[in-house]
Structure 1
């Protein structure tokens, strides 16, 4: 079982994401998280999924679109670091991605399916990473991290956004 990264494996900026996972088995966490997202989003109507709980905040559809984009980008970071690439990997402007994603024009079912494809791709990648590669370090947005940290960031970032959706779920209508 892959152990949670130690604090010296990542910049403090990533702490909230790493600790969102806790000490759970990360592979099972990712699989359970996928099922939880599918279940949660299947309970939303199209109208509910387009609602913003406050001005300037993302709708549930935009949030899932953001999660999908982030999973792909962060999986690339994981692949790069695990393979030993020492390139300073770039970040991304999440607002630009959401603003140009037109996620509110997508059906909830399409966004769910997209998430499942992105998550399955991430899970497939895990099978190609050797035990030694998990502690390889690389640089992501000028911050040194290990490969396993990036996996925890992927899961913790998704959990962060799902907690917001769950918290504001009663305000979606």
Structure 2
């Protein structure tokens, strides 16, 4: 098994992820993902359930909803990585992130419960990624009508999470409670 997952070439993931990927620092993506888990836990350390149910602007998700979106994305991207690594030939479906959030009932869940679920899903995916061979990481499939490699998915996951952690920091946590 590879000890690191090399950064994918730009043609290994859809164009609409290029902006996210530009946020990703160079280096070991698995180490970054582990760090993101600790960083997210730290970000929510002093956030109450009431505060986590607030938005930064009209029509925007609450912090709980954003966290639920991160959980859902982690699961979906992980499922895609599993399917593609196993040479799935079927096109994997997309999803409507707003519909998922609206139907998640995230705001009635305790924040501690959401954080626990996030960490469990993340740890599960990390274990799976560490089991992939170089050949599996290079396997290409179709998700949401676009070609992507497993390596591309792993990096997109880290970049997507980085994007949302920045939103949490800049739009939710920096404003006055």
The interval holding the TM-score normalised by the smaller chain is over 0.9
Query: 4+ residue runs of structure 1 moved beyond 4 angstroms?
Result: none
Which structure has the highest helix share of the two? 1
Kept in 2, the 8 Å contact 1:18–1:153? The answer is yes
TM-score of the two chains, using structure 1 as the length reference: 0.96
Q: Which has the higher mean CA deviation after the structures are superposed, 12-21 or 59-68?
A: 12-21
Residue 170 of structure 1 aligns with which residue? Answer: 174
Residue 95 of structure 1 aligns with which residue? Answer: 98
Kept in 2, the 8 Å contact 1:17–1:152? The answer is no
User: Which of 18, 31, 35 is the aligned partner of 1:32?
Assistant: 35
Q: Which has the higher mean CA deviation after the structures are superposed, 124-133 or 159-168?
A: 124-133
The structural deviation recorded for 1:125 is: 0.7
The CA deviation string for residues 105-126 of structure 1, in whole angstroms up to 9 with x for no partner, is 1111111101001101111111
Measured in 1, the distance between the counterparts of 2:129 and 2:103 equals: 30
Alpha carbon RMSD of aligned pairs, Å? 1.1
The structural deviation recorded for 1:18 is: 2.5
- Secondary structure in 2 aligned to 1:89? coil
- Secondary structure in 2 aligned to 1:88? coil
Measured in 1, the distance between the counterparts of 2:96 and 2:16 equals: 16
The structural deviation recorded for 1:43 is: 2.1
Residue 77 of structure 1 aligns with which residue? Answer: 80
Which stretches in structure 2 are left out of the alignment for 5+ residues? none
Residue 118 of structure 2 aligns with which residue? Answer: 115
- Secondary structure in 2 aligned to 1:144? strand
Residue 16 of structure 1 aligns with which residue? Answer: 19
The structural deviation recorded for 1:48 is: 1.4
Q: Which has the higher mean CA deviation after the structures are superposed, 112-121 or 14-23?
A: 14-23
Q: Does 1:56 align with 2:59?
A: yes
Which stretches in structure 1 are left out of the alignment for 5+ residues? none
The structural deviation recorded for 1:160 is: 0.8
User: Which of 45, 48, 51 is the aligned partner of 2:48?
Assistant: 45
Kept in 2, the 8 Å contact 1:48–1:172? The answer is no
